[in-house]
Amino acid sequence: MSALLSIRDLTVHYRTRRGPIPAVDRFSLEIREGDSVGLVGESGCGKSTVALAIMRYLGTNGRVAGGQILFRGRDIATLSPRALRDYRGGEVAMVYQEPTSALNPSMTAGQQLAETFRDSDPRSVRATVREALAEVQIGDPERVAAAYPHQLSGGQQQRVVIAMALLSRPKLLVLDEPTTSLDATIEAGIIDLVGVLQRRHGMAVLYVSHNLGLIRQTCRRLVVMYAGQAIETGDTERLLVRPRHPYTAGLLACLPRPNSHKQRNPLHPIVGQLPPPHALPPACRFAPRCAFASPGRCDTLAPSLVESDAGSVRCIRATEIDLSIPPPSPEEPNYPTTNDVVIAARGVRKTFALPIRGFAELFRRRRLTANDGVDIVARHGETVAVVGESGSGKTTLARLIAGLDTASTGEIVVLGEDVARTPVADRRAALRSTLQMVFQDPNDTLNPSHSVARQISRAIRKLGSPTLTASARRAEVARLLSLVRLPPDVASRLPDQLSGGQRQRVSIARALAGSPQVLLADEPASALDVSVQAAVIDLLLDVQRRAGTTLVYISHDLAMVRYLADRVYVMYRGRVVESGPVGALFAPPYHPYTEALLSAIPSVDGPSDQRIVLSPAGQAPGRGCPFAPRCPRRTGEICDTTPPPVQCPEGDHMFSCHLTPDDLGRRQAMPSREGR
Amino acid sequence: MTVNGAPTGYDVPAAGGLGLRHLARSPAALIGLAIIVFWVIVAIAAPWLAPHPPNTPLQALLPPGSETARGAFWLGTDQLGRDILSRVIWGSRRVLLYAPLATAFAYAIGITIGLMAGYWRGWIDQALSRVSDVVLAFPVLVLYILIITTIGASGLNIVIAVVFASTPGVMRIVRGLTLDARGRNYVAAAQMRGEHPLAIMFVEILPNVRGPLIVDACLRMGYVTIGIGVLGFLGLGLPPPDPDWGGMVHEARALAFVFPHIVLFPCAAISSLVLGFNLLADGLRELGRQ
């Protein structure tokens, strides 16, 4: 097969006020017709810049400083404006990360698709649009074509974007993190769709992603980037099973594996952080963070990409180091737990009044039920995970426990005190110190206007010891920073001057100021890169080990939950549909929803051919089971009309379903995907 | 911007740190600032800069550039024989005293009630917002005239009129920004550690909304300058004889066609100062976007 696209020694610079900074450094890549290639790396490694360079779309401050990109032997830098237009869209199409901003909010999906054929006969255009939407497996093309983007779910929007990209039958489809903003069950559907379309049209696909599990399912070949350079390439299976570059191995060690648990296998975060592009290490760019770096060699000799049968690798020690042996774990982790119940919530219900629409609603406000009779228990020293898709009510539950919102009915007993209707401002100071929260978004968890020291000392004064002298408080700030493994000079910085991972550590340090017994963590690592994510999780577990802290971990990342949780609650539409110890929950029998969630986990190892793809959540639940409209195991009328009974197969494992554990235990024959 | 030699990644903090070095990147902001600084220096140095006493009749209706035995009259004299240059110079003092003073008061009140409305929402927000809607429904000029004719023309009353008319606008902006900021996690974190609501408003939220507020303050200074000028022109400004740019135009309006220089120079003075404020506001807004 001939090369469809070949990138040769591509170097891209971005112009900034500080002078040009290199974003991509002599990057080479060859994509053949019909090939699927994955480009992975953490944020800032230059992978999106490569994607944009392929589109010749670097913006006003980006410049190709060297090398060339050949499409079927033609250098795309030489294309005339007209030829460039035909090239973009016609030969190569791109799907961006955020479908909401890729679609025009003031046009219907159908109009946007029809734009491509402005000059054709309207009737045939309409038929083409319908076909295009049906091709991306949209169930109701007529309705979707007539809908504005805001009336579509995230998954549907992304399907429309893909349909648009495919209209002109491109030879190469570039997908830049196409599913990062979507729920796992929806993500699985999009990934499958791209695979189907690729095979049907024989397109080549370049997948840009930070998610190694996802890449594994879609790509035959992988390129791993670090600090603007390709550091390892090769067949996906080989590269994920036997990585040859320490960075690739490090990335894999950051991921929780299906059979690992915090008790047995600690995660191994990569130390340090990505060097900024204007201060790159002189020789090997990974050397300062590399556990295998040999002084005198790795910091003086710049490695080049060495080709071999198994792919290429940029490491001078690639042949002499053994990456298969994981670094020894420091000590046998021991998590002290007792049976004391720290949080006990019973029948928690929270409704929000919706905005008034129309006269009748003045008297009967429509209400949204975010939590609908939730029971949850957390014991001392335990990690309790609450999982579910976005909109399942898990964050609302956390906010109710925290007192940031108050429950409509039900009780939330924290350390023997019912606080369901006590907002945090009215709670006892001691209770506030005891129960702290770590928030999701590292970008707004810290106040951008105040220094780290100021924010932590404020927390010390309010949660810990209000009477400390200024110097004692400074010492306490330094102690808390060292607890979260940050150097003391971070204290004087503003949040803007910290990376996402550092900010999240500061926010943990702030929560620890009053030595809390309970930490509520609302997706504390979901916005972070894998290596940083591992470090933050590691840190939370470290805190838990030392202080016997109860961790309530809110997440949609089931792989991580399986790794760190002791007990798990699965929420769907404001209700707990299944709960139990992590071992029981992650083994059959499952609630059908849990089963779907589990099957959607993109994994870097183990078979993953069978996935349950759920239709997007749509209809409001009736009186019956809230999951019935999407349930692949729906038995019949009873699911829609009768609330499912709570069943208890063993111990404290329970779920609500009309099917018996025996029914559910028998693995249903799932529709297998089209051959890989 | 670096701290401890470490790169920050952002040259303009999102919250809007607006130092002089940032201003240097916007020509509009620099020119605006230069004009404002020019008038501030003129106002401060008026006693030394003004060639003649501002209120003494010397020789009536001299054209600009006249040389007499009593000295040069570069901008001419008015119908009462007062030196126009000296009056423009002294007049800058008034506008540069009252415009910032009134704006500052409007901001102090507007920020406070805007923060409360945005943070607490509910009926407090409803009440404050409806009242401000009522005030905003009146044309500013009508409000000025109504207030001044009711309570009389004096420096204090001008400040009161301006504060009354501008506060609702400030409040609306602050309220909108606060509604956005109160959903941030750092606000939730402050609530979690039991901060007093007022501390959350003024310590956590206010510093993060200051960027747009600074831009708005500059624009508003321009409007207030015009407002004070208009009040003077309508004869509702500060009582004579002390010079006041709007008042100078008012006194000479009957002669404007025959002796345009009498009205031209005070008008130019008002325009240039307003232009300065607007340029600075535009420049700051642009810098904030970068």
Are the C-beta atoms of A517 and A415 separated by less than 8 Å? Answer: yes
Sign of the CA dihedral A532, A536, A541, A545? positive
> Which residue does chain A place closest to B11, by CA atoms?
A17
Burial class (CB in 10 A: 0-12, 13-18, 19+), A63: middle
Model confidence pLDDT, tens digit, residues A569-618? 999 989 999 999 998 888 878 888 888 888 887 777 655 556 776 766 55
Residue B11's pLDDT band (cuts 50, 70, 90): very low
Secondary structure letter of residue A451 according to DSSP: -
Phi then psi for residue A244, to 5 deg, are: -110, -15
* Mean pLDDT calculated for residue range B98-118: 95
- B3 found inside a domain: no
The H or E element containing residue B85 is helix B84-120
Pairing of strands A367-379, A383-387: unpaired
Distance from CA of A38 to the nearest CA of B (A): 28
pLDDT of residue B18: 52
The H or E element containing residue A161 is helix A154-166
Q: Mean pLDDT over all residues of chain B?
A: 86
Secondary structure letter of residue A382 according to DSSP: -
Count up the domains in chain B and report the number: 1
> In chain A, which among 375-434 make CB contacts under 8 A with chain B?
402-404, 424-425, 427, 429, 432
Burial class (CB in 10 A: 0-12, 13-18, 19+), A291: middle
Q: Mean pLDDT over all residues of chain A?
A: 86
* Mean pLDDT calculated for residue range A412-432: 92
- B115 found inside a domain: yes
Task: Name which of A431, A436, A497, A502 to mutate to probe chain B: the one with the most chain B Cβ atoms within 10 A of its Cβ.
Answer: A497
The HSE-up count of residue B91 (CA atoms within 13 Å, CB side) is 31
Model confidence pLDDT, tens digit, residues B204-239? 999 999 889 999 999 999 999 999 899 888 888 887
- B11 found inside a domain: no
- B66 found inside a domain: yes
Residue A668's pLDDT band (cuts 50, 70, 90): low
Q: Which of B4, B188, B197 has its CB closest to that of A404?
A: B188
> Which residue does chain A place closest to B182, by CA atoms?
A444
Residue B13's pLDDT band (cuts 50, 70, 90): very low
Task: For B88-126, give one letter per residue: b (16+ CB within 10 A) or e.
Answer: bbbbbbbbbebbebbbebbbebbbbbbbbbbbeeeeebe
> Which residue does chain B place closest to A276, by CA atoms?
B7
pLDDT-wise least confident of A232-241, B4-13, B65-74? B4-13
- B222 found inside a domain: yes
- B162 found inside a domain: yes
Model confidence pLDDT, tens digit, residues A301-325? 889 888 888 789 999 888 888 776 5
* Domain of B167, in residue numbers: 19-288
pLDDT of residue A667: 54
Query: Residue B45: which CATH number?
Result: 1.10.3720.10
Q: Is the pLDDT of residue B4 over 50?
A: no
Q: Is the pLDDT of residue B287 over 90?
A: no
- B8 found inside a domain: no
Please give the share of chain B, as a percent, with pLDDT higher than 70.
92
- B5 found inside a domain: no
Asked if A424's CB is within 8 angstroms of B192's CB, the reply is: yes
pLDDT of residue B19: 62
Chain A neighbors of B177, CB-CB under 8 A: none
Q: Is the pLDDT of residue B12 over 70?
A: no
Cis peptide before A281 (omega within 30 of 0): no
Residue A222's pLDDT band (cuts 50, 70, 90): very high
Chain B neighbors of A497, CB-CB under 8 A: 3, 6, 8-9
